[in-house]
Amino acid sequence: MANNVLPLRAGEFVRVYVVARRWGADAAGTAGRGHGFWTTLATLVVERVLDSLFIVAMLAALVLVIPVPAVLQYAAAGLLAVDCLGIAVMVGLAVAPAACQRLIARLLGRWPALRARAHRVFDTFVHGLEGVRTWDHALPILVWTGIVWVIPALSAWTMLYAMNFHLPWLAGWTVLVFVGLGVSIPSAPGYVGVFHAAAALAVGLYGVAPSAAIGYALVFHASQIVPVTLLGWLYLLREHMSLGEATHARVPPAESAR
C-alpha cells in the first residue's frame, strides 16, 4: 500500500518497519524488535530477487512468441545481471556465514564496537535467508512465488475480457511482465505513468488501438491500486499505526539484536 502513496518505492521500507514492529510485538522485550527488523529486511531481499527472476524468465518466454521491444530485452538483461549478483551474495551469506563473519572481523578489526554491532546485525540478517539454505525451504518458496504471479496475470486477462478485448490468456502475462519491469524502477506514487505506459505497450502488441490501450491501462491500474491502498489503510488502523509513523521510523540499533 505504501508504494501507492509514496514515491521512489519508499513503501518497501515502510513494509519492513510494519512487519518488524508486529514481529517485535509478539516477542519479549526489545530483542524481538531488532531481530524482526533485520530478518524482515533479509526476507524482503529474497522476495524481490525471486520476483525479478520470475519476470526475466517470463520475458524470455515471451520473446519466443511475440515481438518484445528491444529496450525491454535490454532492461531484462540488466535486471538478470543484478539478480545473479544478488543470488550469489545471498547464497554466500547463507551457505558460508562463518567465512563472512571472519571477513567482517578482518575488515572492522580496528573498531571493536563497530565490529560487534556488525556481527549482531549480520546474524539476524542471515536468519532471514534460511529459505535459500535447503530445498525443504526453497522449493515451497519457489512454488508460492509462481502462484503469487499467476493471480495478477489472471487479473490482467480478466480485465481485458471485461473490456471486450478478446485476447489470448498470454496477453495477461504480457501485461504482467511489462508492468513488472516498469514498476521495478523508482517512480511516482502509485507507479503513475510507468504502469500505464507498460500496460498500454503490452496490449498494443496484440493489435489494440492506442486510445483503447490507454483506456485499459487506466482501468487496470485503478483496479490494482485502489483495493490494495484501502486494505493497507485498514491494516494500519488495525495496528494502531499511522503512515507518518512508519515513514519516520528509525532503524533499530544493532545492540537490540542481542
Cα–Cα distance list, 189 to 16, 100, 183 (Å): 18, 37, 10
pLDDT band at residue 27 under the 50/70/90 scheme: very low
C-alpha cell at 121: 546485525
DSSP letter (8 states) at residue 26: T
Domain boundary assignment for the chain: 9-257
- Write a three-state SS string for 74-113: HHHHHHHHHHHHHHHHHHHHHHCHHHHHHHHHHHCCCCHH
pLDDT reading at 255 higher than 60: no
pLDDT, position 253: 57
Pick the residue with more confidence: 254 or 54?
54
CA distance 252 to 145: 29
Per DSSP, the three-state class of 123 is: helix
In the structure grid, which three cell numbers stand for residue 247, read together? 515513514
Q: What is the pLDDT of residue 131?
A: 65
Nearest to 121 by CA among 41, 49, 46, 44: 41
- Higher pLDDT, residue 16 or 23: 16
In angstroms, the CA 93 to CA 102 distance is 12
Count Cβ neighbours within 10 Å for each residue of 81-106 and write b for 16 or more, e otherwise: eebeebbeebeebbeebeebbeebee
Select from 150, 148, 162, 146 the least CA-distant residue to 223. Answer: 162
The band of 30, judged by pLDDT with boundaries at 50, 70 and 90, is very low
Nearest partner of 248 among 10, 1, 8, 7, judged by Cα = 10
How confident is the model over 220-248, as a mean pLDDT? 88
CA distance 149 to 208: 24
3-class secondary-structure state, position 187: coil
pLDDT at 1 over 60: yes
Q: How far apart are CA 52 and CA 76, in angstroms?
A: 9
- Looking at the chain, list the stretches that DSSP marks H as alpha helix, in order from N- to C-terminal side: 2-5, 11-25, 31-63, 70-95, 97-107, 112-127, 135-162, 169-183, 194-204, 210-238, 243-247
AA identity, residue 244: G
pLDDT of residue 186: 86
For residue 16, pLDDT over 60 is answered with yes
Q: What is the pLDDT of residues 153-203, one digit of tens each?
A: 999 999 999 999 999 999 999 999 999 999 988 899 999 999 999 999 999
Output the pLDDT for position 205. 96
Grid cell, residue 184, equals 521495478
Q: Write out pLDDT tens, residues 104-128.
A: 999 999 999 999 999 988 988 888 8
Residue 29 pLDDT > 70: no
Q: What is the pTM of this model?
A: 0.85
Higher pLDDT, 59 or 131: 59
